[in-house]
Structure 1
Amino acid sequence: MMNGTILPVTIKGVYLIEKQGGPVPLVLLEDGAKRIMPIYIGLSEAISINAALNHEIPPRPMTHDLFISLLERTSSKIDDILIDELNDGVYYARMSVSMDEKKFELDARPSDCIAIALRCDAPIHVRESVLSAALIDKEELEGTISLDNYLS
């Protein structure tokens, strides 16, 4: 287990940033000091996170909605999400789950953790060392477009 301060973060939004080869989706996390951490994600995860942020209910369940249904049917609960490692540009996260008075952790992609956490109001945390290593300046976000604007 890594040591270090654990910080609560909020999801600032889902955006597209122009990169070589075309636009790339990213989710922006923000801590209480307004520091911003980007996580580059796939388009399907971006759409899922954006739908959760906008409280949209799809006509048929998406994968993350199915996971929430499974949690509800088994009386399970997501206690929190922790993005706790950044290694060679890849983020690692853990989802803490309570089920039948047992607690366990699941290794998962941060994008999946975020999409699920937003659907069940679970807190999202980031290890300070990860946040510090991944911080970006607001100027680096110039040219980004929100996924909402892109999809409309």
Structure 2
Amino acid sequence: MARIEVEVVGVRIELPANQPILLLKAVNLPQYLPIWIGAAEANAIGIAQRGLTPPRPLSHHLMVDIVEAYGDSLSEVFISGREHHTFLAELHTEGGKVISARPSDAVAMSLIAECPIYADEDLITESGIEAPAPDEEEVAQFREFLDHVSPEDFEGRS
């Protein structure tokens, strides 16, 4: 099973449904992997992307802390496949443990633990979308959006 490193581009809101989408990009391929996620997970990813540490641990921080309290650490996240419309992921620890997880939770934890994210190459081929040639102005606008979006922007939407 070939694995490709991916990076978190960010969370976008799909309109008109206001559904958050986690957008991953293959590091060495012109492919994106969009994954629809919940608002709470979008919030957690946004907090982790900005490197914020809440005064009390949120769920994803707590899970990373629990793994570390047991003398292990998160070594990588693997987006392993898809069953129907549900994406699958695994948390891999330095101690060799593999834990099934939702991709949104796994990505939030990887950002907190600062570990790499990989995706199955076949998954990217089958479920990914081709990255258009970069439009520098559009890229700058998207980065501006990501720099100014806050977790509160994802709360209370129905």
TM-score by length of 2: 0.80
Residue by residue, what CA displacement relative to the aligned partner does 1:75-121 show, whole Å, maximum 9, x if unpaired? Answer: 2111211111112111111111234xxx2211111111000011011
Please state if 1:98 is matched with 2:91. Answer: no
Aligned length: 141
Q: What is residue 111 of structure 2 aligned with on the other side?
A: 118
Select which of 56, 71, 76 maps to 1:75. Answer: 71
Q: What is residue 128 of structure 1 aligned with on the other side?
A: 121
Select which of 38, 48, 53 maps to 1:52. Answer: 48
Question: Match of 1:50, SS?
Answer: helix
Deviating more after overlay: 54-63 vs 39-48: 54-63
Give 4+ residue runs of structure 1 displaced > 4 Å after superposition: 144-147
Select which of 55, 60, 63 maps to 2:59. Answer: 63
Gaps of 5+ in 2: 133-137
Please state if 1:25 is matched with 2:17. Answer: no
Please state if 1:43 is matched with 2:43. Answer: no
Give the superposition deviation at 1:68: 1.6
Please state if 1:15 is matched with 2:12. Answer: yes
Q: What is residue 151 of structure 1 aligned with on the other side?
A: 153
The question of whether the paired residues in 1 share the 8 Å contact of 2:30 and 2:131 is answered with no
Give the superposition deviation at 1:137: 4.5
Alpha carbon RMSD of aligned pairs, Å? 2.3
Give the superposition deviation at 1:46: 0.4
Q: Which has the higher strand share?
A: 1
Select which of 60, 83, 93 maps to 1:87. Answer: 83
* AA of the residue aligned to 2:9: K
The question of whether the paired residues in 1 share the 8 Å contact of 2:25 and 2:31 is answered with yes
Gaps of 5+ in 1: none
